[in-house]
Amino acid sequence: MGRRNPPRRNQSPTEKPSQLRIIGGEWRGRKIPFTPLPGLRPTPDRVRETLFNWLQPYLAGAHCLDLFSGSGALGFEALSRGAETVTFIDQEPSVVRQLRDNLQLLRCNRAEVIQDSVLSWLERRIADEEQRYDIIFMDPPFRKDLAAPCCELLEQRGMLAAEAVIYVETESDLTGSVVPANWQQHRQKEAGQVRYQLFIREALL
């Protein structure tokens, strides 16, 4: 994922593509481009390394959903490390084009890229008639109050496997819970202004 936080100085949508490095698995060491839109940057290597250490027991054969995909860093890392499929969701046309180009570059046919607003896409899902995902990556733009409604919609629309694992990045000063009551916190760390958390869903009776 790539968060859309305040843009770095002298950055514009017309810049040449930047690169991110896949850090583990089949494509370890491969570099893939991403378009450096204002405020978009991949989840840092050290955070990804920690996250995928957490996720290692859950990755093999997993069906993953990468919301607010941005650079696609987390979705591509998951595919490289053995996930069965990844669905990328992002509303920016240039981001979507680059994600599709990168799938072709990696000769990967185990993913799809959907151009849409994440909240709108989730709102249109039909309860209990959708793909159920094992792992969710969620890195919404900060200070837009998107995490809580997205988490609630994932639960309401029946899109989660019985014991799904959900990764959520938010600003570190965000107060209150953003997740449904049946999501139990498994891991949490903070890095600078970012809080990253891993939740495990408990199936509702």
Give residue-wise pLDDT tens across range 1-27: 555 554 443 444 445 668 999 999 999
- The answer to whether the pTM exceeds 0.85 is yes
DSSP 70: T
pLDDT band at 186 (very low <50, low <70, confident <90, very high): very high
Give residue-wise pLDDT tens across range 140-166: 988 888 999 999 999 999 999 999 999
Q: What CATH fold (topology level) applies to the domain 2-201?
A: Rossmann fold (3.40.50)
Q: Could you give the angle at the alpha carbon of 194 between the alpha carbons of 193 and 196, nearest 5°?
A: 160
Give residue-wise pLDDT tens across range 115-144: 999 999 999 999 988 899 999 999 998 888
Residues contacting residue 41 through CB under 8 Å, at least 6 positions apart: 2, 3, 8, 70, 71
